[in-house]
């Protein structure tokens, strides 16, 4: 009984840590250069698992073929996406995208779809010439997204 009483604070701390990691925050390591110059290979990010309100240009972590990928949301459900002459067009209107000038011409019809289906997002890496993203794998499902990230644990700093 004394051992259990002495161990109780450690057990409570362990339970709290497990709950926080399972439902709120967890570390994620960037693997590869598809998000360079924004993120670097080996960078350690804090993933916000509780954040489920995804917006354009959010950086998300999602599951794809038993891997965790880190990409930026470009297109939202119900939208059309096109890159032409270094300009991003959403639903036919130009949108300021700081990485657009590095992007080859692309439109959703290349994937045999007209609009991003409900419950799906169009994602791209910031290193557009070296990224396996929605231009190749297609839109990703909401269910595959684990959360967003805005903070790097190593090196320490906020992510734009």
Q: Which residues belong to the active site?
A: 34, 71
112 Rama sector, left if φ>0, alpha if ψ -120 to 50, beta otherwise: left
- Looking up tokens 């269910």, which residue turns up? 143
C-alpha to C-alpha distance for 102 and 106, rounded to whole angstroms: 12
- Contact indicator for 43, 35 with CB cutoff of 8 Å: no
Reference 59, options 82, 36, 81; nearest CA is 36
**Residue among 10, 42, 12 at smallest CA distance from 27:** 42
Q: What is the token pair recorded at 59?
A: 């950086």
Q: How far apart are CA 7 and CA 10, in angstroms?
A: 5
């Amino acid at each position: 009984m004394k051992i259990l009483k002495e161990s109780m604070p450690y057990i409570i701390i362990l339970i709290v840590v497990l709950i926080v990691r399972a439902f709120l925050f967890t570390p994620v390591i960037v693997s590869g250069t598809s998000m360079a110059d924004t993120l670097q290979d080996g960078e350690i990010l804090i993933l916000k698992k509780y954040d489920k309100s995804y917006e354009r240009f959010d950086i998300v972590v999602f599951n794809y073929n038993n891997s965790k990928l880190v990409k930026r949301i470009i297109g939202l459900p119900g939208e059309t996406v096109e890159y032409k002459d270094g300009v991003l067009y959403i639903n036919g209107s130009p949108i300021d995208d700081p990485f657009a000038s590095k992007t080859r011409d692309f439109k959703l019809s290349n994937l045999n779809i007209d609009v991003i289906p409900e419950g799906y997002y169009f994602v791209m890496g910031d290193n557009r010439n070296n990224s396996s993203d929605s231009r190749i794998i297609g839109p990703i499902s909401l269910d595959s997204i684990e959360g967003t990230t805005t903070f790097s644990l190593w090196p320490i700093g906020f992510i734009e």
